Structure 1
Amino acid sequence: MSWCCRLGVFHSGLPSVTWLKMMQIPRHGVADGSDECISRLSELTGIDEELVRATAISRQGERVVRHRAERFGGDFALRTHTTYCPACLLEDAEPGGLSAGRRVGRVNWMFAPVRTCSVHGTLLVRRGNRGFHERFQDMALVAPNDAELDRLASHAQQRPPSLLQTYVEQRFEGVQAFEWLDAQPLDQAVRASEMLGACLAFGAHTDLDKLTMSQWCEAGTAGFEATSKGPEGIRAALESVEAASRKSKSAGGPQAAYGRLYQWLQFKKSKREPGPVREVVRDYILDTMVIEPGTKLFGEEVLVRRRHSVRTLSATSGVHPRTLNRALVRAGVLPNGDEMRVDARTSFGAAEGDALARRIVNSIPIKRIPEYLNCNRTQAATLVRVGILPQVTPGLGGRGGILTNVATEDLDGFLVSFRSQGRRVVTPSDGMVDVITASEIVKETVTDIVRLVIEGALTRVETLDRTLKFRSVLVDPEEVREVVQAREGQVGLSVQEVAAKVKLSYSAVMALFKHAGPGGFPVLRSQKIVNARGTVRHRIEEKKIARFEAEHVSLDALSEERHATSEDLLRSLQAASIDPVFCGSGKHDLIFRRADL
């Protein structure tokens, strides 16, 4: 349009209206960048048709226009506004300039997010058109005289182009650098950035109609910093927007949290689609807030719940809110929750919450486990105590009511795991007995034998009919004994074996585990093995026994080494003023340091 205005003056001295009429070029054809107009201008001037087209904003149908390779909604090109940079127009007036002293309208001034002159770093002047005639942007007519331009230029607000404006201008130049934004129409990318940026910079409930040009620049930069990173950047920005909103609106749903952004997507008044940002925001809301199934969110019905509150989970499961809250906190579903106080604002994953509630509802008290598993009460209690059968909420002891129950799915899972190690038989092979009988034979706890079966440590395991449940699993007691002994043997000798080796009593060896030597550490150290019944067995590594024998010797061991009676040896040591470093219950439990001998 600006070029056509200059053409008329340059070639004939006529105003643009007269010249275009003489050349049989309709003004609306110039304004719409029609193919006929562009071909006619190219023919008249000899300028390549594509170069002419690159300066046009062409109508592509109802509410769709095009500039260069970009297509966008009609509102993106501000045909209802006049925009200019006073400093640029004053420089155009210089006779020696590129435009021979005539004002030039820049095509980028026509686009909504372009609010700053990238040459002078000042805000553009933008006002609504005074009438339909100003839709044809002849800068000689729509902009004021030079004196007023000079005044406007001297008072122009300094402002660098927003990151969003720079993105728009580069995209018109064919630059593709931001995958998520570049994949959508330019006006959708811009609108998403500006709406998100306005909420980030000025709060979710700011009055958009009152934002100034400078503030929209600020919003453009804030929004572009998020949208340029794609969905992850937008989700991070939404988290910031909600956190700021909650300082003034601590309660409420997504509209309270996201304000204008939510209203734009939920109550859209324009026929122009908001684009991919809608799905990103929708997914984020469903992932972070309690939205009931059946709710219409951004034009689409919510089919599956993604988040629960304690209240909604209680309503769907029938479990008391306080019980649920305590279980959720202890299970880590509400890691920062207070198990004594229900917070109505807190939400959590629906899948995790539903699974926990299902376990609570479908659980039985420990006293009913014997009937369910076909075992006795002691075995059931021990399996629970050692964690093979997990309680709904571990760590409550007997004080948690329903939360100390065991879920039937865990009981069923245990039976499957327990039986999976065995070979199916109709009648037991020779020597094979159930784990309860095996426990009585080898003097090991039932729970320890169960562990061996589940871990696959036993090679001979048989299973009878599944209706026998716990008693359907058979083991070989001799193999159980061998495996237990082999495992304990891997960590050294027993107390009895050590006592025999170093010539001390059982009680003396046990006492050495607590008796400190010169360095303050126990003279002899053991590794404790605790069975399911809680019985502690000590195993001592052979290298520690060897170190002990190298530094210490019992009276009986020294008597053997020196081929003397313990009485004669003791008298000799006393005569030499050599005292024992440890005295047990009698003279046979005396220990001396070899360095003193």
Structure 2
Amino acid sequence: MRRLSPLLPFNDDETPMSWAARQAAFHTGGRVNNFLNDLGVPIMDLARGNESATSRLCEIAGQDPAPVLWNTISSVGKRLQKLRGEEFATEFTTGAVTRVCPSCLAEDMAEHSYPNEALRHRLIWRLAPVRTCGTHGVALRDLRKGTWDDGAHELQSMRGAIEDEMKRHMDPRPRAVSPLQDYVIKRLEGHDGPAWLDGQRIDQAVRATEMLGALMAFGAEQTASSMSETMWDDAGRAGWPLVVKGEEAVRDHLVIRIEEQGKGKGGASPRKAYGMLYSWLSASRLSKDPGPIRSVLRGVILDNTPMVLGHMLLGEPVARPKLTRVSSIAAAEGMHSSTAVNVLRAAGLIASEGAGRDELVVDYLSAKQLIDRVKHAVPVIQVPDMMNTSRPIVAALIELKLLKRVQEQPHLESKIGKAVDGRDIRNLLRWLEEQFEAVEVVPEEYVSIAKTAERCRAKAGAILELLFGGYLKNVLRDSSEIGLNAVRIDPQELDSLLASPPESVSEAVRFLM
């Protein structure tokens, strides 16, 4: 294979395509596309960072491929690229835009008799968050020809545009490199940074910082589409002091924002509180994983904002809201909102006065459990017939919380408070049927709960706890009866338990014994 001679060395701050374009100017005086075609290296393969294309060019040029590959941005998947072991979305690069520092390029050309052989497209200019020249303290400029080969970033074909940029007025005030840009460059050089950022992909860390910073610097009404490169740079600077403190600091900041926004009429609104940060993370076409910022924001919203079960929140349905509006849970549970308000207010779950019905917010789990009980409520007066037992036995079951009131004693002024959860009734009766055999002929020594209490001089509550606690083993059911009246107990076994009660029996039952 014929090699190019003499060698035009690769510069460790440039891209492989920049080196190829300089070689084209050096060896042929022409454009990079024709030069690479003559060498059998497809220009698009080199632009995409294809390793074989890069290695072939190095072999022909007599160049050690290691530094060239080290500066190669390669495609590793659908809109996913890689540089120096760091993976990132394609949007982390400038894409077809060629970003330059006119002052750096002026120095390139001033130091060489043949400017096209000297123009170097710096690797860091290919990165979207790099917006300031660290050497000259000026904002970088974006160029684009609007032709098919924009992705080659061939500076030699942009001489006119570059010279125009050199003539443009530059802000005489020096602009320091942002700490976010400095972080990006150092991370690609192998340095450690703030732990929360280092735990994410580099593009995720940058985007989260910029989005948080935009919210802090420009407010929730700012839209991403109207942000200039200068504004994005300012956003990165604004967000940096927050993100370096880690996830907890980010979470605390987001909590403060939703709490402040929630003080207004209508309560907290994530979209109004978080603006384009929320819009970005809730976008239905969000094809790229945004990183941990999404779960952080989602957690804050769930903890501080009323939600509806099943609502899509930042890409996931809400499985268990922490807070919900009374009107929402009432509708979901098929209960009239007025009934729900009255029940929840009687239980002390919402204030007796205050917001209108549509604005009332309640703890979701507590409200769901109470509404479920209300939907299955059975008036206490009906329970003896349903369980085929006496009122004192029902009272004992309620005391033991084997039957749970829909509302507890402090709230019995409510009619619903004088009811129990009908599911408890069904569960107790089903348990008896599953645990104890029904017989047609009951042994004489086995007697009903009432007679057992009488013979053993025990309280009904003590017998019921031992029965439903599984301590009584010699128990049968009279097949001619139903419910609790069908239960037959061996008094001798009960006497033994009363004489030496199990350690796990409650103190209240020990007292009853």
Using structure 2 for the length normalisation, give the TM-score.
0.69
* 1:344 maps to amino acid: E
1:61-100 matches, cutoff 5 A: 67=83, 70=87, 72-73=89-90, 76-84=93-101
The alpha-carbon deviation at position 364 of structure 1 amounts to 0.8
1:311 alignment partner in structure 2: 327
- More deviation, 469-478/192-201: 192-201
* Residues 1:166 and 2:179 are matched in the alignment: no
**Higher normalized contact order (CA 8 Å, seq sep 6+, divided by chain length):** 2
1:221 alignment partner in structure 2: 240
Indicate which of 403, 406, 427 corresponds to 1:392.
Answer: 406
1:275 alignment partner in structure 2: 289
1:405 alignment partner in structure 2: 419
The alpha-carbon deviation at position 470 of structure 1 amounts to 1.2
* Residues 1:195 and 2:208 are matched in the alignment: no
Query: Contact 1:33/1:59 (CA < 8 Å) preserved in 2?
Result: yes
1:290-439 matches, cutoff 5 A: 290-291=307-308, 308-321=324-337, 324-325=340-341, 337-338=350-351, 344=359, 346=361, 348-349=363-364, 353-396=367-410, 398-417=412-431, 422=436, 424-439=438-453
Larger radius of gyration: 1
Q: Aligned partners of 2:427, 2:274: CA distance in 1, in Å? A: 45
2:5 alignment partner in structure 1: none
1:463 alignment partner in structure 2: 477
Alignment length (residue pairs): 474
Q: Aligned in 2, Cα 1:156/1:31: closer, same or farther, shift over 3 Å?
A: farther
Q: Aligned in 2, Cα 1:205/1:79: closer, same or farther, shift over 3 Å?
A: same
Q: Which residues of structure 1 form unaligned runs of 5+?
A: 491-528, 538-597
Q: Aligned partners of 1:340, 1:150: CA distance in 2, in Å? A: 64
2:278 alignment partner in structure 1: 262
Q: Which residues of structure 2 form unaligned runs of 5+?
A: 1-16
Using structure 1 for the length normalisation, give the TM-score.
0.61
1:115 alignment partner in structure 2: 131
1:511 alignment partner in structure 2: none
Q: Aligned in 2, Cα 1:536/1:39: closer, same or farther, shift over 3 Å?
A: closer
Query: Contact 1:103/1:140 (CA < 8 Å) preserved in 2?
Result: no
Query: Contact 2:210/2:232 (CA < 8 Å) preserved in 1?
Result: no
Query: Contact 1:73/1:272 (CA < 8 Å) preserved in 2?
Result: no
Query: Contact 1:84/1:143 (CA < 8 Å) preserved in 2?
Result: no
* 1:79 maps to amino acid: A
Q: Aligned in 2, Cα 1:72/1:213: closer, same or farther, shift over 3 Å?
A: closer
Indicate which of 33, 48, 66 corresponds to 2:64.
Answer: 48
Indicate which of 47, 50, 61 corresponds to 1:32.
Answer: 47
Q: Aligned partners of 1:16, 1:223: CA distance in 2, in Å? A: 50
For residues 190-220 of structure 1, the C-alpha deviation after alignment (integer angstroms, 9 at most, x for no partner) is 4455335533665443343346244232366
Q: Aligned partners of 2:119, 2:329: CA distance in 1, in Å? A: 68
- More deviation, 192-201/57-66: 57-66
Secondary structure at the residue paired with 1:206?
coil
Indicate which of 173, 177, 188 corresponds to 1:155.
Answer: 173
For residues 240-290 of structure 1, the C-alpha deviation after alignment (integer angstroms, 9 at most, x for no partner) is 55345435675465433442133335556xx77232559848965678652
The alpha-carbon deviation at position 33 of structure 1 amounts to 5.6
1:587 alignment partner in structure 2: none
Q: Aligned partners of 2:237, 2:184: CA distance in 1, in Å? A: 14
The alpha-carbon deviation at position 17 of structure 1 amounts to 4.8
* 1:403 maps to amino acid: G
Q: Aligned in 2, Cα 1:384/1:259: closer, same or farther, shift over 3 Å?
A: same
Secondary structure at the residue paired with 1:396?
helix
Secondary structure at the residue paired with 2:476?
strand
Query: Contact 1:197/1:220 (CA < 8 Å) preserved in 2?
Result: yes
Query: Contact 1:391/1:403 (CA < 8 Å) preserved in 2?
Result: yes
Query: Contact 2:384/2:390 (CA < 8 Å) preserved in 1?
Result: yes
Query: Contact 2:243/2:249 (CA < 8 Å) preserved in 1?
Result: no
For residues 291-319 of structure 1, the C-alpha deviation after alignment (integer angstroms, 9 at most, x for no partner) is 475x777788x697857431122223344
Secondary structure at the residue paired with 1:409?
helix
Q: Aligned in 2, Cα 1:125/1:247: closer, same or farther, shift over 3 Å?
A: farther
Q: Aligned in 2, Cα 1:404/1:317: closer, same or farther, shift over 3 Å?
A: farther
Q: Aligned partners of 2:238, 2:372: CA distance in 1, in Å? A: 46
Q: Aligned partners of 1:22, 1:455: CA distance in 2, in Å? A: 85
Q: Aligned partners of 1:104, 1:83: CA distance in 2, in Å? A: 10
Cα RMSD (Å): 5.4
1:447-458 matches, cutoff 5 A: 447-458=461-472
The alpha-carbon deviation at position 360 of structure 1 amounts to 0.9
- More deviation, 373-382/133-142: 133-142
Q: Aligned partners of 2:219, 2:96: CA distance in 1, in Å? A: 30
Q: Aligned partners of 1:247, 1:327: CA distance in 2, in Å? A: 26
Secondary structure at the residue paired with 2:140?
strand
Q: Aligned partners of 1:62, 1:424: CA distance in 2, in Å? A: 67
Q: Aligned in 2, Cα 1:249/1:203: closer, same or farther, shift over 3 Å?
A: farther
Query: Contact 1:364/1:407 (CA < 8 Å) preserved in 2?
Result: yes
Indicate which of 431, 436, 440 corresponds to 2:454.
Answer: 440
Q: Aligned partners of 2:166, 2:100: CA distance in 1, in Å? A: 18
Q: Aligned partners of 2:498, 2:485: CA distance in 1, in Å? A: 21
